[in-house]
Structure 1
């Protein structure tokens, strides 16, 4: 699965960096080159730090920007002031979560490190996270009161996968129609996560893709809640997504077919292989 493969992530990031700067980054310098590229004001309003994960809260510059511009409204709604002990506890959980991701799969940890540059943590009660195509590198998180380290880890991977899909879409295009056009009723498809709901095609596709790493992580930790919950809904979502296959680009159809193959097999060994397998690292678009 290309969307799980760290080599493919590197390739897509390199293409984006080249498109922005005209330079070809090395694998070793990819993180810094990508951060510099997305720091262009045409990509996002505030520059990314040159390295590391910058964590801010409800009183930070990113929170102010999101609140002012109506970004992640469903998560920011209800967020109140936080104190030092709360923030220290969140920071500690995030650090533990990154360590857990590394233990589960180094490729997933590398994906998070490469793609997530800024993390906004809130206490809004939304019990979830968010990311947006127009804000590369930025993730917002509102942890649930009962979240354990695995929940923090899955939230980070979940949002990193969205950011990963956004990069691939920026480079190649995933759909033949715009996101606005895909919001029309005739292009909606079943969601694998919001079970029973029909969502715009691009959002339904994203939701289906992110179930793969979440199910994989939970399975690795000997848990079955999400595996049991999503196995049937993912297959139903894939069947519905395939009805809209004509609206995917060649690149998008490749991702869709790989997703649907996993939906049929629920083979977690294949997910582990896909994160580092060379057969998923490259993609050459059809010449027009």
Structure 2
């Protein structure tokens, strides 16, 4: 495993400058707590950062093949990979299960990606993607388990510091661990605490910290579409171990997630996916209680969701 360091995050920041939207940091209305509005990022999630860094680093190194890049993902990572490839004039081939929603397929094609359907489960699509990479020579990307992907995600922390000088704590949702690994690596450099938030029944990082090793966990959560990794990356666990007291892992129940998502709309007019609401749920429902005077920034990591599923939103308006 290649170990991510702060220098990797700095390099990623220079590499993707001007290619991604700088994050907006705004007060929540709760004293001492701010939102980082990363759901406004290109493609609707923070994944655009890692995708840009991955491709640009390979181009710099001369390791970007003529066959382009390939990934198995119909979610935020696939969208970000397809978008970044299109921005750089790189061919992208994205593998999905045959039962993937048509709207995802069309959105990927809208970014210029070639979409291939294989199997009925993600594991089968992944196997087909790996076979294609081996046969074609295409560069295989990953949704979260790669140091360039994590370092790209870590650039978010540098922008939060610029938007909120003196920030003490950053709160992030965790799935496979790419966002956490990058943000926590940069945060530790500046003495900033990272609070890693997961659903109670979708706790790959929390379980790995408890076990002292990467372990498989059940995936049963309303936020599983984004946070449903059965195991966290070894890189994320290593970062958590290095962070010591500057990293805290907390869990939130399903009701807290759905309640936080609804509240983000009703109280702030923000439509986000359940993963973003998971981070806010930790503060809103008390899994993490800031100390008096503590400056906390909650990352709203994505908005790739159906607005009609948020109470009070009429998608036809």
Of Structure 1 and Structure 2, which has the larger fraction of its residues in strand?
2
TM-score (norm 1): 0.29
